[in-house]
Amino acid sequence: MYKVLIVDDEKMIRMGIQKVIPWEDLGVGEVFTASSAREALKILEEHTPEIMITDIHMSEMTGLELIEAAKEFQPKLRVLVLTGYDSFEYARQSLRLKVQDFFLKPADEKDLSHAVREQVAYLRREEEEAKSSLLVQRTRGVAEQMRLETYMRNLIHRREERGEGLENLNDYYSPDRIYGFQVVLVVPALRMDHPASEKHFQEMSMKNICISIVDAEEEGITFPDDDGTILIVYFLKEEEDSSMERIRELADILQDEFDSRPKMVMGSVVENAENLYVSYHDAKHLLDTEKEGIQDIIQLLGEQNKNNIFQDIYAELKDIMCNSIGNTEYVLKAFRTFKRASESYNLSRQTVRRLCFELASSIYFAYLGEAGETEGGKLDALSKSLRSASREEACEVTEMFLSQMLGSQEENVHEIVAKAKYYISEHLTEDLTVSNIALSLYITPNYFSRLFKRVTKEGCNEYIVRKRIEKAKSLLDTTTLKVGEIAMMVGYRDTNYFSLAFKKHTGKSPTKYREELQNIRDRREDIPEV
């Protein structure tokens, strides 16, 4: 149903139009009225009606001026003009503003109804064409992704064929300047007793999340190798660039979504795409030799310096705290571990003060980057407090600083999650990702992923899938739409992926689920009335 706005400074006329036209029969659900152009602009901004019927001659602002102002922020507005002035100049200006029809007062009820019906029909055609265009774009996107994946597999496995239309990597992706490439294997942590279908579903889910975080930002390309292992080819855009931080952030998100941390295996850096097979085989070799290892991120080079044990502990705790913004309790727990370690290693007062300030500064800027603005001048105040503090006092002051800074965010956490759930419900048929939801909330994906998991006890991607399956079940029950059409309507481009997700959540395929519902209804109909 559409919305109509009637604008006329004569109350009798606007009320008359509102009452005599059979709006519901024409496909109109809401009718607004305005006595002036100023009032009309406010209604247009708040309620965005698709059709406007307006008089020409009004005080303050003419109908023609209103149309011009309205179309600046709502260019697709359909406009019908009414006037008591039989003037060619008004008609000429109306045509210049591309209004849809022009009527002289008093307008015939049937003519006006017919004009509104035509505008509703036009709007419906536009919506159908937009839906058809979206389906074409989605289908084309799937085909392009498959073509790119074939090309990349041929590249890492050193096969001669490359893929039609892809002479080199830059034909598809064109980052400004790539210094090098690095292959990373993403290996899910799956239990041996998991069924094959669930394993396949998790791998597809993990691949899609990687695409939404890495490929969407043009930081790399995600695809499976011939064995089905998920690969990410990261683009290194500067000579000193490293993919380590990006890999850690991705690993954190995947852990939140799947309740287990995948193994990330890094190959060597190569200068051009033709040598990606070298990076790939390095990573495969590391995976084969480290399968029983406990490391989450396995590197070929750059192992931590083990000569200074405390520095290793400190670096790890600092990393944990900076990557745990959104979980105040976890940050403070890690800081208390640092405090005990500084006592155990009998660090000097000057060293503890320096490390406390370094930790607080790092966490402060991580907090700014993920959660937004906070009060200024806090680091200066902390610096002054640390200048003459003892080792114990330095730790106490710093812990209080962190507690106050991070504690203030807790009030907003549930509001953020509530907004995220509303955004998901409003965009369920679209391409929903942790990244674009976080973008709508003006926070980072990593921060949002942790908050959502902590509050709801389920990963954001898991929540989206559950909501989509709930909607799919309703459509299977209440419509005769094909499974492929329902998959599109609940946000799945790939029907097979939809079927896997549906079966994982219900234990049945979509077709089987619908058949069982029909059988239940048939049995109820067969029961004779008493």
- Assign 3-class secondary structure to 271-334: CCHHHHHHHHHHHHHHHHHCCCCCCCEECCCCCCCCCCHHHHHHHHHHHHHHCCCCCHHHHHHH
How confident is the model over 140-150, as pLDDT tens digits?
667 777 888 88
Tell me, what's the pLDDT at 52? 92
Task: Please name the fold of domain 462-530.
Answer: Arc Repressor Mutant, subunit A (1.10.10)
Q: Which of 181-195, 259-273, 470-484 has the lowest mean pLDDT?
A: 181-195
Torsion, Cα of 373, 375, 379, 385 (10° steps): -150
Residue 122 has pLDDT above 50, yes or no: yes
> Which residues neighbour 519 within 8 Å (Cβ) at sequence distance 6 or greater?
none
Spell out the domain ranges in the chain. 2-127, 177-298, 309-408, 462-530
Residue 233 pLDDT more than 90? yes
Please write the tens of the pLDDT for every residue from 452-464: 888 888 999 999 9
Q: Which of 27-36, 234-243, 342-351 has the highest mean pLDDT?
A: 27-36
- Residue 240 reports pLDDT greater than 50: no
Give the pLDDT score at 303. Answer: 37
Token output for 167: 């002479």
Structure tokens belonging to residue 504: 């994982």
- What is the pairing mode between strands 78-83 and 101-104? parallel
pLDDT of res. 169: 61
Q: Span 504-517, mean pLDDT?
A: 90
Query: Quick one: what percent of the chain has pLDDT higher than 90?
Result: 17
Rounded average pLDDT over 93-99: 66
Please state the rounded mean pLDDT for residues 422-444: 88
Instruction: State residue 65's pLDDT score.
Output: 84
Quick one: average pLDDT of 77-85? 81
Give me the pLDDT at residue 473, please.
92
pLDDT digits (tens, 9 = 90+) for 275-285: 899 999 988 88
For residue range 299-351, list pLDDT tens digits in order: 664 433 433 567 778 888 898 888 887 778 888 899 999 988 888 776 777 78
Count other C-beta atoms under 10 Å from residue 154's C-beta: 16
- CA 69/CA 60 separation, integer angstroms: 13
Q: Is 247 helix (H, G, I), strand (E, B) or coil?
A: helix
Average pLDDT over residues 400-404: 85
| Paired sense of beta strands 51-55 and 2-7, if any | parallel
Per-residue model confidence (pLDDT) at position 171: 53
How far CA 513 is from CA of 14, 282, 429, 467, 473, in Å, comes to 52, 46, 21, 17, 8
Question: What is the rounded distance in angstroms from the CA atom of residue 220 to the CA atom of residue 173?
Answer: 9
Average pLDDT for 402-413: 69
pLDDT at 136: 57
**Segment 162-186, tens digit of pLDDT:** 554 445 565 555 555 677 889 999 9
Q: What's the whole-number mean pLDDT along residues 42-50?
A: 90
User: Residues 63-68: what's their mean pLDDT?
Assistant: 83
pLDDT category, 50, cuts 50, 70, 90?
Answer: very high
Cα gap 420→33, rounded to integer Å: 34
More confident residue, 357 or 529: 357
Instruction: Provide the 8-state DSSP code for 170.
Output: G
Residue 272 confidence class, pLDDT cut points 50, 70, 90: confident
Backbone angles phi, psi at 528, to 5 degrees: -70, 145
Contact by Cβ (8 Å): 390, 349: yes
pLDDT bracket for residue 414 (50, 70, 90): confident
Whole-number average pLDDT of the chain:
81
pLDDT digits (tens, 9 = 90+) for 11-26: 888 888 888 889 988 9
Range with the largest mean pLDDT of 49-63, 123-137, 179-193: 49-63
Q: Is the pLDDT of residue 159 over 90?
A: no
Superfamily of domain 2-127, CATH level 4: Response regulator (3.40.50.2300)
65-74, 297-306, 455-464, 505-514: which range is least confident on average?
A: 297-306
Confidence of residue 472 (pLDDT cuts 50, 70, 90): very high
For 189-229, the pLDDT digits (tens) are 765 566 766 778 888 888 889 988 888 888 889 999 998 89
- The pLDDT of residue 307: 36
The CA angle 224-226-228, to the nearest 5 degrees, is: 45
Domain 177-298 adopts which CATH fold?
Answer: Alpha-Beta Plaits (3.30.70)
pLDDT(158) > 60: yes
In this prediction, residues 508-519 reach a mean pLDDT of: 90
Task: State the pairing for strand pair 180-187/263-270.
Answer: antiparallel
